[in-house]
Amino acid sequence: MNRITINPDICNGKPTIRGMRITVKTILEYMAAGETIENILKAYPVLEEEDIKECLEFASKITDHSFLTISVKKAS
């Protein structure tokens, strides 16, 4: 993966696409809302289809961790 960059001087260090001020989160939110890749590319003409695919791959890799589940008991 070489299209996703993290630079503390760009978007407060959030992962962006190729150092531009378009965050991975922005693209993932569009995808989660049901937008098509074609519509995202129309909204952001500087992007390429491979950028969007790499956002999805990046998200997949960062969620590939185990999470600890903590049970909280309610007071009686």
The residues spanned by each domain of the chain are: 4-62
- 4-62: what fold? Arc Repressor Mutant, subunit A (1.10.10)
pLDDT tens sequence across 9-59: 999 999 999 999 999 999 999 999 999 999 999 999 999 999 999 999 999
Confidence of residue 76 (pLDDT cuts 50, 70, 90): low
Angle between helical axes of 49-62 and 24-32 (0-180°, round to 10):
90
Please, which residues have CB within 8 angstroms of residue 4's CB and are 6 or more apart in sequence? 15, 16, 17, 24, 54, 55, 58
- Please tell me the pTM assigned to this model: 0.80
